[in-house]
């Protein structure tokens, strides 16, 4: 069975270390696993029930929902902005949580990971992301974690895909997500 995983990155910055971590996940995905790095999260308008009506849902939100609908599991890459989840990632979660009780996350394995400048690697934001996506209906893999501290120094000259320790931990995480996706299929 092949597994499709959708990756959402909560940083829009060019050269984002979280984006690079997502690229590393794509590069080191196990055989039979396709990880789609969703492009365009920053173009999805803020969630508003007034525009979430059949026939008027913005094309960017439709594209996000379509990609999520094809996914067997999710990887959410969250940096930490002022101690919490970035707005762009929270907005993506909000769009995918609808319709209530039957959103794209419903019952699908979801892991939250990331890197940040601070000494804890963004754990506060990642915990908030787990909370939000869990309320949105995902099967949050609470014990499947990867928080990489000191991103600015650690990845100053090394892409996460070339950092042996990061790759080892990422491969373990991907194996766990893949196993959960197969178990829930």
- Span 107-127, pLDDT tens digits: 999 999 999 998 988 999 999
Residue 7: closest CA among 29, 22, 24, 27:
22
Q: In this structure, what is the dihedral angle of CA atoms 149, 155, 158, 163, given to the nearest 10 degrees?
A: 10
Instruction: Domain of residue 74: give its range.
Output: 3-184
Residue 90: closest CA among 143, 55, 129, 49:
129
First to last CA, the chain: 9
Our count of domains for the chain comes to 1
The C-alpha atoms of residue 105 and residue 123 are separated, in whole angstroms, by 21
For residue range 87-107, what is the model confidence (pLDDT) as tens digits? 999 999 999 999 988 999 999
The C-alpha atoms of residue 98 and residue 106 are separated, in whole angstroms, by 10
Predicted local confidence at residue 101, as pLDDT:
85
Percent of the chain scoring above 90 in pLDDT: 95
Residue 3: closest CA among 23, 31, 37:
31
Instruction: Give the CATH number, domain containing residue 167.
Output: 3.40.50.360
Work out the average pLDDT over 149-178: 96
Chain centroid offset of residue 8 CA: 4
- The reported pTM is 0.97
For residue range 129-157, what is the model confidence (pLDDT) as tens digits? 999 999 999 999 999 999 999 999 999 99
Strands of the chain (E only): list them: 3-9, 33-37, 73-77, 109-115, 139-148
Measured at the alpha carbon of residue 175, what is the angle toward residues 128 and 31, in degrees to the nearest 5?
130
């Amino acid at each position: 069975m092949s597994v499709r995983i959708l990756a959402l990155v909560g940083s829009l910055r060019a050269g984002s270390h979280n984006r690079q971590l997502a690229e590393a996940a794509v590069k080191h995905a196990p055989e039979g696993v396709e990880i789609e790095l969703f492009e365009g999260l920053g173009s999805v308008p803020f969630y508003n029930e007034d525009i979430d009506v059949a026939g008027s849902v913005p094309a960017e939100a439709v594209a996000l929902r379509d990609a999520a609908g094809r996914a067997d599991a999710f990887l959410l890459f969250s940096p930490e902005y002022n101690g919490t989840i970035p707005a762009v990632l929270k907005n993506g979660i909000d769009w995918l949580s609808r319709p209530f009780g039957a959103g794209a996350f419903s019952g699908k394995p979801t892991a939250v990971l990331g890197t940040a400048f601070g000494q804890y690697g963004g754990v506060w934001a990642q915990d908030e992301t787990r909370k939000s996506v869990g309320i949105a209906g995902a099967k949050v893999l609470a014990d499947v974690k990867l928080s990489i501290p000191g991103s600015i120094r650690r990845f100053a000259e090394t892409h996460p895909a070339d950092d042996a320790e990061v790759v080892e931990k990422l491969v373990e995480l991907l194996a766990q997500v893949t196993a959960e996706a197969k178990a829930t299929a």
